[in-house]
Amino acid sequence: MLVVGDTIYYSAEYEKVQADSAEQFGMVKRINDETNIATIFVYSPENKHLSAIEKRVASGPNYFDKKGQQIYYYPSGTVECMRFYTMYSDEGDTVPTSKLTEEVFLYPDGVVKEKVTLHYFSAHTVADSYERNCYYPTGEILYHEKLDKGKCTTEYFQPNGKKTKNPKVHYEQYIVLPEFPGGQQELFNFLSSTVRYPIECQEKMIQGRVVVMFTVAKDGVISNITVKESSGNNSLDAEALRVITAMPKWTPGTRRGKPVQVIYTVPVNFRLQ
């Protein structure tokens, strides 16, 4: 739980990180117990200037369980960014988690610079799909990006509204999900060649599906491997865990071109021919 005077370490995108990887840091200045709003002043690493002022709304006593609108201000006092968080429950979860569902960036004069709407369909900590619009300082749309079912499409526009294939400004794809080396087909190949169907389950004609959840770190290393959905058979569950543990490093997921840690799920199926 935050208290006045606490230090919070941030990435450039105002996400909480460890001190050794921080690009800026925040000092908790005020906490309003009635509204559950914490006001945090964010500074550059050299402590030379105020980067932003964050007003963080909590869903409860833990201020990192964000809920509703979070506002970040330019040092001048105008709004730089607004983020909207929703408490999200995936199937089988006992405790809802806070997930970013929309963020809006503004130019210093208040004109919308970028708006992103995110959707979640699984336990992933990074959205499975989203729509993103970026705008010229004059308000006209510059760029439209959409991720749906793993496919990302982009469209660029001239200030007059006409589409163009030669944009003057390039943006990194907003979200790229982690990937097994070689892609989805190679993941299927790895699972099918690595799984050893337990003999006792074959003899008893036991089949099942195990959904394994794990973390893909910023360097692609797999950790925190657990069974999210059991097959109902301990031997099948144990084999699924063994196979996922044997996976090589993944290509990490990215957000705005920077590696991010992602919780991911993979189903392991046991079917007799």
| Residue 214 predicted with pLDDT over 90 | yes
What is d(CA 4, CA 59) in angstroms, rounded to the nearest whole number? 18
> How sure is the predictor about 63, in pLDDT bands with cuts at 50, 70 and 90?
low
Looking at the DSSP bridge assignments, the partners of residue 115 are: 104, 133
Q: Where are the domains of the chain?
A: 1-106, 111-172, 184-270
What is the arithmetic mean of pLDDT over 52-75?
68
What is the arithmetic mean of pLDDT over 241-246?
97
Residues 6 or more apart whose Cβ sits within 8 Å of residue 64:
16, 58, 98
> How sure is the predictor about 176, in pLDDT bands with cuts at 50, 70 and 90?
confident
> How sure is the predictor about 43, in pLDDT bands with cuts at 50, 70 and 90?
confident
What is the arithmetic mean of pLDDT over 32-53?
73
Summary mean pLDDT of the chain: 84
Residues 6 or more apart whose Cβ sits within 8 Å of residue 170:
none
The pLDDT assigned to 8 comes to: 82
Rounded to two decimals, the pTM is 0.69
Lowest mean pLDDT among 31-45, 87-101, 133-147, 223-237: 87-101
Give phi and psi for 245, each to the nearest 5.
Answer: -60, -30
| Residue 46 predicted with pLDDT over 80 | no
Please answer whether residues 116 and 123 qualify as being in contact, where contact means their C-beta atoms are separated by less than 8 angstroms: no
Per CATH, the number for 184-270 is 3.30.2420.10
Q: Over the stretch 121-132, which tens digit does the pLDDT of each residue have?
A: 765 667 778 999
> How sure is the predictor about 183, in pLDDT bands with cuts at 50, 70 and 90?
very high
Strand ranges, E, within the chain: 7-10, 24-32, 37-43, 50-57, 68-73, 79-88, 97-106, 112-119, 129-135, 141-148, 151-157, 163-164, 175-176, 208-216, 222-229, 253-255, 258-260, 262-270
Q: Over the stretch 116-163, which tens digit does the pLDDT of each residue have?
A: 999 877 656 677 789 999 999 999 999 999 988 778 899 999 988 899
Please answer whether residues 191 and 247 qualify as being in contact, where contact means their C-beta atoms are separated by less than 8 angstroms: no
Q: Over the stretch 77-123, which tens digit does the pLDDT of each residue have?
A: 788 888 888 877 665 556 667 788 999 999 999 999 999 999 877 65
